[in-house]
Chain A
Amino acid sequence: MTKSKLNTFRGGPDEAGRFGIFGGRFVAETLIPLILSLEEAYEAAKVDPEFEAELNHLQTHYTGRPSPLYFAERLTEHFGGSKIYFKRDELNHTGSHKINNCLGQILLAMRMGKTRIIAETGAGQHGVAVATVAARFGLPCVVYMGETDIERQKPNVFRMRLLGAEIVPVASGTGTLKDAMNEALRDWVAHVEDTFYIIGTVAGPHPYPAMVRDFQSVIGVETREQMMAAEGRLPDTLVACIGGGSNAMGLFHPFLDEKGIEIIGVEAGGKGVETGEHAASLTGGNPGVLHGNRTYLLQNDDGQITDAHSISAGLDYPGIGPEHAWLHNSGRVSYVSATDAEALDAFQLCTRLEGIIPALEPSHALAHVGKIAPEHDADHLIVMNMCGRGDKDVFAVAAHLGTDIEG
């Protein structure tokens, strides 16, 4: 793909599901027929006007799209310099961008005649979105969630249960997102006939990274139109946080070939990339193979996956979607990190100045916006993806702030 379409960054993946050397289909044989039939079903749905119409209808009337592009006036004033816009996907039904992907995948699941839904979740935002669409379409749903995450995301656990999902706690490993994904894959292998696995980010075996990206690209497509309407031109800088990278890919992808636009992904720096306790796979990891694809991973020199650390459960993943790995190597997108402490500061700042309680995930993106906004003049337009709201995080934040006060 990189060879045949040198003039575009939007041509991937190739037929083997590769973005350069990244991506692929590294799964057990049992799953191969499933992902091949998924690919076939997705390719057919993509060009089916009926599928598109159905998805559009749900996005408008169920999710509440388009989400606004909001000029964050007081933060702009506070940082001084660039004009800051938020793409407000936190206003979506269920409170984050995750619903964009879940609606697409559940429609596909039903087209394929699947009758049972499974998913992994970290922060619980994806789990809630999956449980929501499963409730909406009347399908039973099992969500795998690490024990550590269940503890720090209690409100979402309760929401999922209310929605009728069965939550399966995962104790293996560190009890976080990576372990939940292992367990979901094991479930899938054991229930191939009837089960559809709704992966929550742009990772996993082909076609997931491309499919999830496509379902999330509505973010960037809307941003483009809304920015043209608001400012009569395209933005100068795009910023988004990165766990697996789906909200970021959704915002970035429609802009990748706009040469003049600077694009920045913000990984979770945890206690600082230099401390080793972080979740910054690109900044602090190297290429390997996990969960069906080749990408950058946090791992030791024996190829064993190491634990990610982040205050934000949604970013606490030792990998990153393969297309980001490729965009990193090609230099098209810059990847930086923000620490737990920086994200907590940004969380509070945004709450007080804009009256918007952001999720801890986009608080990382905002922390970086705070670093770069003063470097430019008022004619520099930044769009940050406000991909989730912080209701789910208030207990965790209270605990962190409490500890700080006592310390």
Chain B
Amino acid sequence: MSSRIDLRFAETKAAGRAALVTFVTAGDPNLEDSLALIEALPGAGADLIEIGMPFTDPMADGPAIQASSLRALQAGQNMIKTLDMVRRFRENDSDTPIVLMGYYNPIYIYGNERFLENAKAAGVDGLIIVDLPPEEDSELCLPALRAGLNFIRLATPTTDAHRLEKVLTNTSGFVYYVSITGITGTAKPDPSAVSDRVSLIKAKTDLPVAVGFGVKTPDQARAIAAGGADGVVVGSAIVNLMLDHMDARGNAQKTMVPAIAGFVRSLADALTEKT
């Protein structure tokens, strides 16, 4: 059975372009502003939406997403609210794939079975759990696949050919290639090195490959896509731009949604123009 994620990548492939995957943290800066922002993303050109499940100790994230996570938690975000946000988003959008991204502990404490059931019911399509490598597949990956959710795995510059097989084994939806050895939003990816790795991965799987972790500008997005990526993920740059549109108390100003929508549009346009 094809998932929403499979369908969306098939569409962008048919249109001859890479998919734009945008990341925001659930509940940043607060629940209602966050939902309004997420609802504006598809219209601005986002093909898939990654929603961060905030965690106090985001080990793989740089300062921008760390701060974003803490803002959300301080505003009272929790797993119940995150799943409810997805449910509300789904009331008006039944096509845009939603991928929840985060760390294992909040899921483990929520209860794995209950989480998978509620996430599926809310309209979640896939999971990216940073601290669940293939070595820990029996924890959540295999149950998630059984529950009908895609489990999207990270491949990194340290993943060699032998390791790649293991990484791909239970991966579904797409493969997320981490373009830098580092945390989110820090180093700048080298498009030609990324392109080599993307080809290597594509030689081993039919799954689409999306590239992220350091992509910040339309030009970078275009270069990564030109190197063969099926999708480009932009996160920290969006989160940083949100900061410019918050008042002193950390609430969204009226300009936030239009500003983010404009930025997302510029990214989408960069992926649509043929160079």
Decide whether A and B assemble into one complex: yes
Give the interface of A toward B (CB within 8 A): 16, 24-34, 172-173, 178, 182, 185-186, 189-193, 288-292, 297, 299, 301-305
How far, in whole Å, are A260 and B109 apart by their CA atoms in the complex? 37
Q: Could you tell me the distance in whole angstroms from the C-beta of A320 to the nearest C-beta in chain B?
A: 15
B153 touches A (CB below 8 Å): yes
Q: Is there contact, CB below 8 Å, between B109 and A29?
A: no
3 nearest interchain CB pairs? Answer: A303-B109, A303-B106, A190-B182
Given contacts A192-B158, A288-B109, A289-B104, contact A29 B66 (CB under 8 A): no
Q: Is there contact, CB below 8 Å, between B133 and A28?
A: yes
When distances are taken between beta carbons in the complex, the residues of chain A under 8 Å from B107 are: 303
Q: Is there contact, CB below 8 Å, between A25 and B106?
A: no
Given contacts A302-B79, A303-B79, A305-B105, contact A27 B163 (CB under 8 A): no
18 contacts between A and B (CB under 8 A): A27-B131, A29-B133, A29-B154, A30-B154, A30-B156, A31-B158, A33-B158, A182-B59, A186-B59, A189-B59, A192-B181, A288-B105, A288-B108, A290-B57, A291-B59, A302-B110, A304-B73, A305-B57
Query: Given A33, A186, A290, A292, which contacts B160 in the complex, CB threshold below 8 Å?
Result: A33
How far, in whole Å, are A39 and B132 apart by their CA atoms in the complex? 18
B192 touches A (CB below 8 Å): no
B273 touches A (CB below 8 Å): no
Given contacts A26-B132, A29-B167, contact A185 B109 (CB under 8 A): no
When distances are taken between beta carbons in the complex, the residues of chain B under 8 Å from A290 are: 57, 105
Q: Is there contact, CB below 8 Å, between B133 and A32?
A: yes
Given contacts A182-B59, A189-B181, contact A30 B79 (CB under 8 A): no
When distances are taken between beta carbons in the complex, the residues of chain A under 8 Å from B147 are: none
Q: Is there contact, CB below 8 Å, between B163 and A189?
A: no
How far, in whole Å, are A290 and B56 apart by their CA atoms in the complex? 10
Q: Is there contact, CB below 8 Å, between B135 and A182?
A: no
B25 touches A (CB below 8 Å): no
Query: Given B57, B73, B130, B186, which contacts A28 in the complex, CB threshold below 8 Å?
Result: B130
Chain B window 161-198, contacts with chain A (Cβ cutoff 8 Å), 1 for yes, 0 for no: 00100010000000000101111001100000000000
B36 touches A (CB below 8 Å): no
Q: Could you tell me the distance in whole angstroms from the C-beta of B93 to the nearest C-beta in chain A?
A: 26
Q: Could you tell me the distance in whole angstroms from the C-beta of A222 to the nearest C-beta in chain B?
A: 35
Given contacts A292-B131, A305-B57, contact A26 B104 (CB under 8 A): yes
- Closest A residue to B158 by CB, please name it: A33
B23 touches A (CB below 8 Å): no
B interface, size bucket: 35 or more
Q: Could you tell me the distance in whole angstroms from the C-beta of B248 to the nearest C-beta in chain A?
A: 20
When distances are taken between beta carbons in the complex, the residues of chain B under 8 Å from A28 are: 59-60, 130-131, 133, 154, 156
Q: Is there contact, CB below 8 Å, between A289 and B131?
A: yes
How far, in whole Å, are A392 and B187 apart by their CA atoms in the complex? 38
Chain B window 108-139, contacts with chain A (Cβ cutoff 8 Å), 1 for yes, 0 for no: 11100000000000000000001111011000
Q: Is there contact, CB below 8 Å, between B156 and A29?
A: yes
When distances are taken between beta carbons in the complex, the residues of chain A under 8 Å from B160 are: 33
Q: Could you tell me the distance in whole angstroms from the C-beta of A142 to the nearest C-beta in chain B?
A: 15
When distances are taken between beta carbons in the complex, the residues of chain B under 8 Å from A303 are: 55, 79, 105-110
Query: Given A25, A172, A297, which contacts B133 in the complex, CB threshold below 8 Å?
Result: A25
How far, in whole Å, are A190 and B187 apart by their CA atoms in the complex? 9
Q: Is there contact, CB below 8 Å, between A33 and B60?
A: no
When distances are taken between beta carbons in the complex, the residues of chain B under 8 Å from A172 are: 66
When distances are taken between beta carbons in the complex, the residues of chain A under 8 Å from B181 are: 30, 189-193
When distances are taken between beta carbons in the complex, the residues of chain B under 8 Å from A26 are: 104, 131-133, 136
B149 touches A (CB below 8 Å): no
B159 touches A (CB below 8 Å): yes
Q: Is there contact, CB below 8 Å, between B56 and A173?
A: yes
How far, in whole Å, are A189 and B156 apart by their CA atoms in the complex? 10
Given contacts A33-B160, A288-B105, contact A173 B110 (CB under 8 A): no
- Closest A residue to B154 by CB, please name it: A29
How far, in whole Å, are A251 and B132 apart by their CA atoms in the complex? 32
Q: Is there contact, CB below 8 Å, between B57 and A178?
A: yes
How far, in whole Å, are A32 and B108 apart by their CA atoms in the complex? 21
Q: Is there contact, CB below 8 Å, between B109 and A302?
A: yes
When distances are taken between beta carbons in the complex, the residues of chain A under 8 Å from B136 are: 24-26
Given contacts A29-B153, A190-B186, contact A301 B109 (CB under 8 A): yes
